[in-house]
Structures are given as C-alpha cells and as structure tokens.
Amino acid sequence: MFGFNKTTIDLHAPFDGTVIPVNEVPDPVFAQAMVGDGFALIPDETSDVIEVCAPADGKLVKVFNTLHAFALVTPEGLEVLVHIGLDTVELKGEGFTALAAVGDSVMVGQPIIRVDAAALRGRGTQLTTPVVMTNKKQIGRMKVSAGPANSGAHACTVTMA
C-alpha cells in the first residue's frame, strides 16, 4: 500500500507532574484549543524549581521575551508550543531563566527554561503547562497518555495529517 504511511511523533513530559488533555486546562483559550490541540502537565507541588525541558527533538524557533513560553519544530515539521503556567506573560520574565536560545537544536529532555516554582506559587500563579501543536492542519490523530509522568516520559502521540 502506498500513501497510507503517516508519520507519528511522540511528545514527552517536559517535567515531573500529571499529564491531562488540553481540554481540562482551567483556561478557556487552551481548553477550547484556540492556540492548538495537545496536552498539559500539572507540576508536582513539591518542586521548588522546575526545569522545563524539550518535549521532542527539534529546533528552538521561539523563546518569548518574557520567558513564559517557547516553541520548537521537530525534524518532521511539527510545530510545538510549550506555555509555562497560565497568565504568566504578565510576570514579564520574573521567576524564569532561559537555558537555551533560539536556533539551538534541542533533544527530548534538554532543559530550556528554569522556573522558580516556589516564588511563582507564592504569588498565586497557576503552573499548569500546556504543550500544544499550533498548526492544527498538521494533526491527523492525537492520543494523550493521561496520568502521572516523570520528566521525559511519553505523554502524547501525534499522527501527522
């Protein structure tokens, strides 16, 4: 058979926590997949510092000035956005440290942003982190592996359209 081989890409938990489908994120922009479909990770409450890692191999194409989000493109062309916490753009970078730069080739599990989780929680910041594919036309199917996950564990399989 020809024309039926679809590329599948595994995405991994960017830190220790609990994987949930993106429609369960307590933010309508993410829950309604306005930014893209995917999953989210609720961090373990015991972590004072979180190193948010690349969920897939790829090239880092965007690190937001406020360090609250980054985007990468996998070798297959899948566009992935990691948005650290909810409403964190308002922090203007406070509590975030960049560990990688735009243009870097990154591998699964490579730290991209360090987060002072204790300080942000102290401010009442919600650290649920959506990981979404921003180009909906690229996604044929997606299967989220909900539940507890260590950093680097399988979290989602995407079959490209």
Residues designated catalytic: 83
Q: How far is CA 126 from CA 25, 52, 86, 160, in A?
A: 10, 15, 6, 31
Tokens linked to 54: 């690349």
114 CB-side CA count, 13 A: 7
Sign of the alpha-carbon dihedral angle for 106, 110, 114, 118: positive
3 CB-side CA count, 13 A: 0
